[in-house]
Amino acid sequence: MELKSVTIRNFRALQNVQLRDIPSFMVLVGANGTGKTTLFDVFGFLRDALTGNVRQALDSRGRFPEVVTRGHENEPILVELQVRMPIAKFSRLVTYHLEIGLEQGRPIVVREFLSYKRGSYGAPYHFLDFSRGSGYAITNEEDFRKPDEDLNREEQVLESADILAIKGLGQFQRFKAASALRQLLENWHVSDFHISAARGRKEATGVMEHLSETGENLPRVAQYLYESHRDVFNEILSRMQQRVPGISGVEPELTQDGYLILRFRDGTFKTPFLDRYVSDGTIKMFAYLVLLHDPKPHPLLCIEEPENQLYPTLMGELAEEFRDYSRRGGQVMVSTHSPDLLNAIRIEEVYWLVKAEGVTQIRRAADDRQIVKYMDEGDKMGYLWKQGFFTGANPA
């Protein structure tokens, strides 16, 4: 599954933006306050609305009046995704359209539909279409030989108008596209990693296979990889030794009182030392490697400013780790202020954000003729960023 485009309207500063032809590895740059965090929060909002409901997702962000773009309070919030995904062994470009409004003081799903072309020609067909808590879904969508009038339409009424239709219908395999899209959204990872949360003793209760957004379960995930995916764990150790000078190993240890700790082995010491004595950069690089080498990778990673606490010389290696993850089938979106990271990025991977009259605009570096010219002459993206070439626009 691959996210191809995103259209957003009336979500805070994102009053009307569209990302097209999204690459498998995308880097966002822009001054503070231009909307990079807001863009990532759109993905978090969709996941939260799916996990709970629209009202809960809005309430955690200050409620509808605080989320909708100022001056557009009477208009719906709109998010539309185009995702390339397999349905019944055929690759389809699926459109998911979601509009959220406020009626009688309550947030509701004004419109939600899912569509794609049944064949090579013709208009996209709506296989799921709901409004204000009721609608229909097609149960035999994989039978592409049947004419439209012979498709089985199943009418449904949701428990509440603030529930996403794909939340309930996506649990059933007979709704192929809804099920695939639900899995995609549920497995997005919007990182909010905190060094302090990842350090220290963690109670060893239950298996944790995936790194959490804040990283507080890092020792438990390391333990799981060490016990169940030793080859992956050894690859992470190998990469750590390449990326962090002096580190010769990382060992998760279960203490007698039922806690997990991480021990990092420095080649200059005979005895390993606990993670609380290790630099922030070492912990963060280890966490990123655990995330990027997950045996069941996330379809989309969103990571803000990965350069924090890391040595500038590691930025090239980290960019290649992100790119390698995308080659294995995942997508990565990264925001950054780091010239060192940008120097390792290709022009087709860079988008930048600017703010004008309170709203965000998103542009592609590859569409700016001046930036293209400089890059063709051997310049690097980070140097251009430092010189201020990402404030104006010179369309190609």
- Name the residue among 313, 326, 260 with its Cα closest to residue 285: 313
pLDDT of residue 395: 43
Mean pLDDT over 368-391 rounds to 88
At 341, the pLDDT band (50, 70, 90 cuts) reads very high
At 263, the pLDDT band (50, 70, 90 cuts) reads confident
Name the more confident of 99 and 125: 99
Taken as a whole, the chain contains a residue count of: 396
pLDDT of residue 200: 75
pLDDT at 171 over 80: no
Helix axes 176-186, 36-51, angle to 10 degrees: 120
**2-188 architecture in CATH?**
3-Layer(aba) Sandwich (3.40)
Dig out the tokens for 293 from the structure: 């080498």
Q: Please, what CATH class does the domain formed by 190-345 belong to?
A: alpha beta
Burial track 312-331 (b if 16+ CB lie within 10 A, e otherwise): eebbeebbebbbebbeeebb
The predicted-structure confidence for 309-318, as pLDDT tens digits, reads as follows: 888 888 998 9
- The SS3 of residue 138 is strand
The predicted-structure confidence for 64-109, as pLDDT tens digits, reads as follows: 999 999 999 999 999 999 999 887 677 889 999 999 999 999 999 9
pLDDT of residue 146: 64
pLDDT of residue 54: 96
pLDDT at 396 over 50: no
Mean pLDDT over 198-213 rounds to 82
Mean per-residue pLDDT over the chain, rounded: 87
Percent of the chain topping pLDDT 70: 92
pLDDT at 110 over 90: yes
Task: Kindly report, as residue ranges, where domains of CATH 3.40.50.300 are found in the chain.
Answer: 190-345
Percent of the chain topping pLDDT 90: 53
- Name the residue among 170, 145, 161 with its Cα closest to residue 94: 170
Q: Is 378 exposed, middle or buried (0-12, 13-18, 19+ CB in 10 A)?
A: exposed
At 307, the pLDDT band (50, 70, 90 cuts) reads very high
Mean pLDDT over 240-269 rounds to 78
pLDDT at 268 over 70: no
pLDDT at 205 over 90: no
Q: Please give the DSSP secondary-structure letter assigned to residue 104.
A: T
Q: Which of 55-59, 85-89, 310-314, 382-386 has the lowest mean pLDDT?
A: 85-89
- The SS3 of residue 220 is helix
Read off the pTM. 0.88
pLDDT at 345 over 60: yes
pLDDT at 394 over 70: no
pLDDT of residue 142: 66
pLDDT of residue 127: 87
